[in-house]
Structure 1
């Protein structure tokens, strides 16, 4: 069984990196470095030059845009289901000189639940986020929902209940001190984002944020066994892309 799974992952890896001029392991390493640390594309270009590899920063940008979403989708299956008590908040992201909104949710233990980058902060945006959050984990019932005082959340919860997305109406509470956890968690995602001018386009920003969220969850061990070392993170990425293990002693 394990050999069959390994063979399937290896075949999928060949499809994932078909036509690339660099080895798959180097591409995954470059993408994970950008998503894990506050580095620019030019910083990673210099790191590769130190190893005698010439990779243009624009090429690294294309790698991130291409492989960040698959990394998030594949790592999502490892996530621990939320405990039923979640905190929801939105934060500001600058894209092309304009403020956009990143809706995020974590459970009471700090484990990521879901996220959504959207152009507006209104009732429709809140409804869309609730639908995405519930549909991605249909078997995990929401018992308690903590939010700030935004007026869009109560009707969004009611709409989700009426649409059959919630098995029962959860307890909704508004408390400032309990929201401090998710407000602090915003920083862990935003610290790697471009500091000057923000993102240039909306859809590339959404793809990159997928990668930021995925690597943050990977770093925390998916909520199961505490934080993982960088070596453990790289090993899982290599396994899931069907690549040989790297940095073995």
Structure 2
């Protein structure tokens, strides 16, 4: 609280957490992470310094190869929360994945046991049967993104319906195809495992931020946060905030 028209009821300097990201987003406006806002609670006029604090984005990696280790390490450096989900093998160990926040050991093919709600998934087991099952199980309405390592031909094979004896045919909902990215990664000519990991994370970051991943020199307008910097500067220096306050200056801190 920066200022209050009723300091006895709501003292300036009070800190509080707003319930619900939607409310905070509505006060700040699209693309803004922080700024000064005014708010009315009953008959009390408040001036707030509001900051949106989001949880760490979450990445799920299906695979335990060296490329998965690199992706896990790089994602952790970028402050992602990383889960490695795989069945029990000699490579699915904490020693091989010290950067992982969670190592989830599941039965082979049991990818439905992995929580992917609101998360980003990269499937990179390099085993056709495992990758196919992972994509079919994890490409859900709740997942944010599923990236699949491999060629376009391999993607075609993985998208084929799964037919198991005694089970109904399973096929991917066409409405979810927009969430599936394969071949995975931005087109930067990546060849080494390190470059491929960087390409994958760059694509995921672009999807998370609602960007296309093009060259910044070709972008029109603000380059960060959809105009976050400009709107934040405007919010803190706008003449409307320098007009006569809605409450006495003695009530401000």
TM-score (normalised: structure 2): 0.29
TM-score (normalised: structure 1): 0.29
Q: Computing the radius of gyration over CA atoms, which structure comes out larger, 1 or 2?
A: 2
Using CA pairs below 8 Å that are at least 6 residues apart, which structure has the higher relative contact order? Answer: 1
Structure with greater proportional helix content: 1
